[in-house]
A = this chain, B = another copy of it.
Amino acid sequence: MKKFINNVDDILVESLKGFATAHKDLVSLHLEPIFLTRKVPSMNKVALISGGGSGHEPLHTGYLGHGMLDAVCPGHVFTSPTPDQMLAAADKVNTEKGILFIVKNYAGDVMNFEMAAEMLPYEVATVLVTDDCAAGDVTAGRGVAGTIIVEKCVGSLAETGANLQACKALGDKVNQRTASMGVALSSCTVPAAGRPTFSLADNEVEMGVGIHGEAGHSRETLRSANEMAAEMLEHILSTLSPTANSEILVLVNGFGNTPLMELYLIYNSVTELLAAKGLKIARSLVGNYTTALDMAGASITLCLLDDEIKQHWDSAVHTPALRWD
């Protein structure tokens, strides 16, 4: 294993210290237990808290700030955060409008956020993100890159002072209208393990891979970018069933070790494939937004827009990793 590390046990805290120093205008780091909050809290809004295992940066810490998250609880690499982190974060950012947890659908994350919700004396709701459609049923999916669309839209609505029920309803709606599928060209290497999580032959890819290197839909032969994009889109479109002329948000997300050049090439494939189906790309985002450490590969996410989602996607956001006016 070749990584920039001092001691494996220290990577989370050292990395978070670097992150918090680099973005000290936007975020604050709290230790014991570990959580991060936005620097300038809004006092009269639903508090949005997310979190999960580390190694997916910029998810979630990079989305702290105006228009997205109020607090983030990072676990160790690919390891769920614990309830004490969520309780401390909730105490720090709670307002009278309640707390919304945004949780990716993994057993450990779900269990620990549920436990925290039960222990908290505040009103708490949860949006469960399930956008990975590799298993064929979006409601049972893992939470992957579509998470940032949920966080962006709910973050926008929360800034308007909307109540907890409205924020949860929008999050659930965005999740239902969002589907993702990924493909890995290589494994990632978890620092504590010290070796690749899985191995692929020189001509193999893992189609439908998860963002921790979980097995996917099938192990397949490496094909052209167009063919792999077409296969991913087929699963996504059969999950979402867009009508003709549907307006779509496309996110082409890199897992870490796929150059931007290739991500834009995939996006070019997606534009041609969707145009051939009469579907309109109304918004797009291309880059490394939900990574899996150093895995080579990419995912495609589609979100079926409506006026409400489009408005909240477009609204101002000011975070380390996503910023527009």
Residues of A within 8 A of B (CB): 2-6, 11, 14-19, 21-22, 54-55, 57-58, 62, 77, 185-186, 202, 205, 222, 224-226, 228, 256-269, 271, 284-286, 288, 291, 293-294, 296, 298, 323-325
- Is the beta-carbon distance between B55 and A259 smaller than 8 angstroms? yes
Give the distance in Å from the alpha carbon of A304 to the alpha carbon of B186 in the complex: 40
- Give 15 A-B pairs besides A15-B264, A323-B323 with Cβ atoms closer than 8 angstroms: A3-B185, A4-B298, A5-B224, A6-B225, A11-B261, A15-B265, A18-B264, A18-B268, A18-B271, A54-B261, A55-B259, A57-B260, A257-B257, A257-B296, A259-B294
Report the bound CA distance from A126 to B2 in whole Å.
39
Q: Which of A18, A62, A202 has the most CB of B within 10 A?
A: A18
Do B225 and A22 touch (CB < 8 A)? no
Question: Complex Cα distance A266/B323, Å?
Answer: 24
Pull 10 A–B residue pairs with CB atoms less than 8 Å apart, ordered by A: A6-B225, A15-B262, A16-B264, A19-B286, A22-B284, A22-B286, A55-B259, A62-B260, A261-B293, A294-B296
A268 to B55, alpha carbons, bound, how many Å?
17
Residues on B with C-beta less than 8 A from A54 are 261
- Bound Cα distance from A296 to B310, whole angstroms: 37
